[in-house]
A = this chain, B = another copy of it.
Amino acid sequence: MPSHDEMVRTVERYVEAFDKNDAAMAADLYATDATVEDPIGTPIHRGRDAIHAFYAASMQANAKLRLDGPVRTGGDYAAFAFTVLVDFGGPKEIEVIDTFKFDAEGKVMEMRAYWNPANMRDTAAA
């Protein structure tokens, strides 16, 4: 099982992948048969190819992540709160919490993102 520090580093690399617009870097954090449910309750992206395509689409909207507070970990999970800055027909901010479940090799095997339209707001006037 990865250590607290290893899980935190993976979250930091995830943020960095968005900074660099590097979908391959984000996808590489995942196990080959991993799942991504974003937002929770919607159809699941299965496998690293589908996950790569999902991040490539997010990054086309120039999504950037700003961590809100420290990464929490417990057992083989990390949870972290962040704000997504994104351009969906104008600048928006979306407040999200993600959970990562890790496998024994320290790859993410399950990601779930907690957010919905009530957590999104326009920032054009800000």
B70 contacts A95, C-beta separation under 8 Å: yes
Binary CB contact string for chain A from 105 to 126 against chain B (1 if under 8 A, 0 otherwise): 0000000011110110000000
User: Which residue of the partner chain, among B42, B73, B97, contacts A80 with CB atoms under 8 Å?
Assistant: B97
Oligomer: number of copies: 2
Contact present for B96 and A99 (CB under 8 Å)? no
Band of interface residues on A: 20 to 34
Give the residue of B5, B40, B76 whose beta carbon is less than 8 angstroms from that of A74. B40
Identify which of residues 56-89 in chain A touch chain B, using a CB-to-CB cut-off of 8 Å: 68-70, 72-81
List 29 interface pairs A-B (beta carbons < 8 Å), by A numbering.
A4-B118, A39-B74, A39-B75, A40-B74, A40-B75, A41-B77, A68-B69, A68-B81, A69-B81, A69-B95, A70-B95, A70-B119, A72-B81, A72-B96, A72-B97, A72-B114, A72-B115, A73-B114, A73-B116, A73-B118, A74-B114, A74-B116, A77-B114, A78-B114, A79-B81, A79-B97, A81-B97, A97-B97, A99-B99
